[in-house]
Amino acid sequence: MASKYVLAIDQGTTGTTALILDQRLSVKAKVNVEFRQIFPKPGWVEHDLEDIWTSTQKAIAKALREASIKGSELTAIGITNQRETTLLWDRRTGRPLHNAIVWQDRRTSDACNKLKAKGHEPLVRERTGLVLDAYFSATKLRWLLDHVKGAEARAVRGELCFGTVDSALLWKLTGGTVHATDVTNASRTLLMDLAKRSWDAEMCSLFGVPKEVLPEIRPSAGVFGNTKGVRGLPDGIPIAGIAGDQQAAMVGQACFSPGEAKCTYGTGAFLLMNAGPKKVSSKHGLISTVAWQIGDEVAYALEGSAFIAGAVVQWLRDGLGIIKKSSEIEELAKKVPDSGGVAFVPALAGLGAPHWRQEARGLICGIDRGTTKAHLARAALEGIAFEIYDLVQAMAQDIGQPMPMFRVDGGASTNDLLMQFQADLLQTPIERPRMIETTALGAAFLAGLGTGLWAGTKELKSSWRAGKQFRPQMKTEARDAHLARWRKAVERA
């Protein structure tokens, strides 16, 4: 029998990855293509949809060449994407009305604060599982409707489409014939009723979003549409799986049972725990979201988000110039035994869970004449681990018991120094799989499930393979001193 291949498109914050798997779950190709970041003002982050689409096409073409297969040999396509990033485009031409407003963007912080001051946050949390923060999509969409000339009137007339990046890629891949999203991405907008998994009229009214711009919400696995008019791909390939990047990573990490958790260390860092088939609420600063929907089976998740993780390494590279490549950070940090008393709070885009402080800014403290760039590098890595420590503690409080273990993935998870420090802080073992591109892997899994290539989650769970485990080694006194310094620094950020 001829091999069957699945293409996963992992559209991330700084680049697009194309991953090709065969039916036996062997990786045949993996290609990443970066695209430009746009920073119009301090705290503003934008992407050009055409840059995203071009990077996607290039990644697909290179992956097909690397795998030595033709597009006609693809059985299905899965999409996973940077979440919350907000786009508005013309329904007739497909042209965006404005650059995408990226999830990191803070321009709508004041709008969120005004809604909080009016007492709307309790209802928002109860209905959507989220908090009123500029991180999420609704206030970004409202900003576009307010600031693009004629946009609101055109939206009401049904001439415009709103979507997160998955919706925009689905629109492009299907030649403008399908305007839809999956339930995981919809759950990040502040516009979806989390329990009903449908757009909520009261939330749309609160944020001033006309229902005419909204995509259809569908399960994460199943045929959304078929390719049409895409360069390098034949028409008719089913796009059969979609999930936001962190939920896709849960699928890729085979966290299919309640209590199983993973943390992805990418541009930001995101800890998610499978909470089972019913909506859950956090009392300790986390958010509730949909993990996935496969057929009628739904899983919810508790989530903690740190807005800046790998991005702090990029800043050390591009902003300060203390490294030339991100991969150099570990060797530089290893040149010193510790951070020399330096604390680095990586709040370059505010503090996310469990603090939710939009006004917070990055902080480096404890510097003296003996401080070197190696100390800064080590403090930056430690700052990422401290952020995750806070998330894990909040999650343990919500579930009423310590987390026994969790799995890690994402680019920064290859940093052994960071992973060991993380295990030391948490006093919890950490498992890293052999395949760390679990986000793309999850999108491929969903696409294969959506087309019947794989029978179910049990088959996928059995395919997960451990790579390396990190066990706690640090003495309690040293750990407590680290945590005390971090707490003082966070208060000042």
For the stretch 83-106, pLDDT in tens is: 999 999 999 999 999 999 999 898
pLDDT score, position 1: 41
Output the DSSP codes for 198-239: EE-HHHHHHHT--GGGPPEEE-SEEEEEE--S-TTS-TT-EE
The more confident residue out of 122 and 434 is 122
With respect to residue 63, please indicate whether it lies within any of the assigned structural domains.
yes
Give the tens place of pLDDT for each residue, 459-488.
677 777 778 999 999 999 999 999 999 999
Q: What pLDDT sits at residue 3?
A: 66
With respect to residue 480, please indicate whether it lies within any of the assigned structural domains: no
Contact 334/327 with Cβ under 8 angstroms? no
* Among 187-201, 352-366, 465-479, the least confident range: 352-366
Q: 140 in a domain, yes or no?
A: yes
Residue 230 lies in a domain: yes
Would residue 448 count as lying in a domain? no
Count: domains in the chain: 1
Q: What is the CATH number of the domain that holds 145?
A: 3.30.420.40
In a domain, 428, yes or no: no
Candidates 407, 411, 409; CA nearest to 310 is 411
- Gap between the Cα atoms of 333 and 335, Å rounded: 5
Residue 232 lies in a domain: yes
pLDDT winner (highest mean) among 171-175, 302-306, 405-409? 171-175
Judge whether 182 lies within some domain: yes
Residue range(s) defining the domain that contains residue 32: 5-246
Residue 52 Cα distances to 46, 57, 105, 432, angstroms: 11, 9, 17, 29
Q: Which of 266, 229, 234 is nearest to 248 (CA)?
A: 266
